[in-house]
Amino acid sequence: MHRRAFVRLVGGGVVAAAAAPLAGCDSGLPPEALAPWQGPGQEPDLRRWILGHAILAPHSHNLQSWLVDLRTPDEILLRCDPTRLLPETDPFSRQIMMSHGTFIELLDLAARERGQRAEITLFPEGEFGPEKVDERPVARIRLVEDSNVSRDPLFAQILKRHTNRNVYDLERPVPAAAWQAMADAVQPHPLRLGFVGTDQPDSADEIRAHREIANAAWRIELTTPRAMLESYKVLRVGQAEIAQHRDGLSLTDPMVVWMARLGLFDRSQAPGPDDFATTSQIKDFGTKIASTPGFLWLVSRGNDRVTQVNAGRAYARVQLAGTAQGVAMHPLQQALQEYPEQARPYAAIRQLLEAPAPAQTIQMWARVGFAPPVQPAPRRGVAAHLVAS
Ligand SMILES: Cc1cc2nc3c(=O)[nH]c(=O)nc-3n(C[C@H](O)[C@H](O)[C@H](O)COP(=O)(O)O)c2cc1C
């Protein structure tokens, strides 16, 4: 496989060496990128302790677009970093808002753990319009000590939760109790959770349809140059780049690292549809999808900014509940993305999940199953998120 990539390169073709998928390579990450996964430990400052959990939230492309202002005592003001958006694949920043919801949910769980009521006001200076995020805060969170506040068992899963992009065990369906735990976890937020598993009666056609849409959408993403270039921009190849950025999509495949070092992995050009970097990733993804024994989805009524944040909160809870059950999860956002090339899979998934536009929006779609564990993804640490005081 490597040899083929190399030959193509020497033959003058586009650099196409990404033998591993863009994300999910799970070996050899530098310790400074993983340190935040130790948790905040004995951090004496309550807000920083809480934030030490919130920054472990899932975020699309691992961009960690959370800007935090602690200048008002007992308050956490959250804004979105406008330099950490995905304008090509997430043109209306829906996933970015979800990724603020995941942060807020983990923040809330951590606050409860410390007997604090997090009074969360979303968009305290007004909600963003449907197209663009702006500099106004996403949330103002006041911490109030409250002996009546209840702890949430999902808190215990924060340090264990990871997106798992491995091949899953097709022979091991997700048990009914695990689906139930994930469905229960959504409860505090107004979204509908649906799921399908290979062990459910008459599910074969439905599962086949999920697989087809996921593969088609992935192929479109990989063959849409501007979508690929957006991923390349946040691709961190090798230990030095990963340690420097501690965000984005990590690649540690030795072959690719070696080529990047030699200046042979040109990230300013998207690979062509027939290049090995494209075809190998399509094949690899297809294997993962074919191994998947279950899919879940979260559907909202409407799609305003508060709804998107709540969708992220719900997803965080679902993934934490899955983690508690030993269940692996891998979001499949490609078909849900609002750029024109994805129109067909977007329509197909809406039809399959009976989520008619514009009344309903599929906020999350994920593959679910059992898989070997993965290493955590890099995090920048609390200090990197604080705006200067
Ligand atoms: C709104 C949202 C959308 C995401 N979409 C995808 C996706 O389409 N494919 C994928 O592999 N991961 C997706 N992820 C997972 C992120 O890439 C992941 O959270 C990030 O890389 C950090 O890794 P961690 O979840 O293991 O901490 C998504 C996460 C969120 C919150």
A 10 A CB-CB count for 153 gives 10
Would you say 271 and 277 are in contact if contact means Cβ atoms under 8 Å apart? yes
pTM of the model: 0.94
Give the strand order in the sheet containing 192-197. 192-197, 294-301, 360-369, 328-331
A 10 A CB-CB count for 300 gives 23
Nearest CA to ligand 1 atom 31: 59
Would you say 173 and 199 are in contact if contact means Cβ atoms under 8 Å apart? yes
Look up residue 325 and give its DSSP letter: T
Going residue by residue through the chain, which has 389 residues, state the pLDDT in tens, using 9 for 90 and above. 343 443 333 333 333 333 333 444 345 899 999 999 999 999 999 999 999 999 999 999 999 999 999 999 999 999 999 999 999 999 999 999 999 999 999 999 999 999 999 999 999 999 999 999 999 999 999 999 999 999 999 999 999 999 999 999 999 999 999 999 999 999 999 999 999 999 999 999 999 999 999 999 999 999 999 999 999 999 999 999 999 999 999 999 999 999 999 999 999 999 999 999 899 999 999 999 999 999 999 999 999 999 999 999 999 999 999 999 999 999 999 999 999 999 999 999 999 999 999 999 999 999 999 999 999 999 999 999 999 86
Distance from the alpha carbon of residue 201 to the mean position of ligand 1, in angstroms: 30
Nearest CA to ligand 1 atom 2: 60
Domains by residue range for the chain, with CATH: 2-24+162-252+267-369 (3.40.109.10), 31-158+376-385 (3.40.109.30)
Pocket test for ligand 1, best of 333, 361, 365 (most atoms within 8 A of CB): 333
Distance from the alpha carbon of residue 38 to the mean position of ligand 1, in angstroms: 20
Distance from the alpha carbon of residue 58 to the mean position of ligand 1, in angstroms: 6
Query: Would the CB of 102 count as within 6 Å of ligand 1?
Result: yes
Backbone angles phi, psi at 164, to 5 degrees: -115, 110
Query: Would the CB of 319 count as within 6 Å of ligand 1?
Result: no
- Counting from 1 in the atom list of ligand 1, the atom nearest the Cα of 163 is 26
Which tokens hold the place of 176? 């009914």
Local structure of 145: helix, strand or coil: strand
